Amino acid sequence: MMTNAWWRRVATSTALIATAIVPAVPATATAAAAPHSPSHPAAVIRPADTVFPTSPRELPEPPPADVAREELADLNIDTPHSMEGYSRAKFPHWIKQYGECDTREVVLSRDGTDVQQDEKCRAVSGTWFSAYDSKVFHASGQLDIDHIVPLANAWRSGADEWTTPKRRTFANDLVHAQLIAVSASSNRQKGDQSPDQ
């Protein structure tokens, strides 16, 4: 039996990410629209003149306590929603982001080192560190792109009431700390567990 405290932690962890969602880059975005920020300073030219960050990303640090308290005070805590009607298909993911590059390939390039891609933007070589189990990989096929807040967890926390475009934005979020390349085995072991779990 799950306690109210447990659901409060789930709702908090999910809402902190979900409420910060901003519109994703349209699928038809050009290279000029690629993200560029201090946390992603390096960019390289890829096939079809696509440009996006390639330096490995460090996981974000928690916000300062005063910021966390302020954000928590604004949260609406609710009972978990039913899983009725849930389907991963209701969160269209791995959409085209830049040229031939879909969300998965962008994350693989961002989270790896020395990543080489073919003309279809598929990662054909590189090195990836899986933060979930501290393993190193040299083949992209051994990696999954994890939704840190799982899609099913988001559904239970209110995404069942979102529009499909908003669910698509959430499932392909390259702006916030929502997607990470990790070993397929660790991602599948995690399953639908929320961040606090």
pTM higher than the cut 0.75: no
Distances (CA, A) of 162 to 10, 112, 155, 179: 18, 32, 9, 19
3-class DSSP state of 162: coil
Q: What is the pLDDT of residues 106-161, one digit of tens each?
A: 999 999 999 999 999 999 999 999 999 999 999 999 999 999 999 999 999 999 99
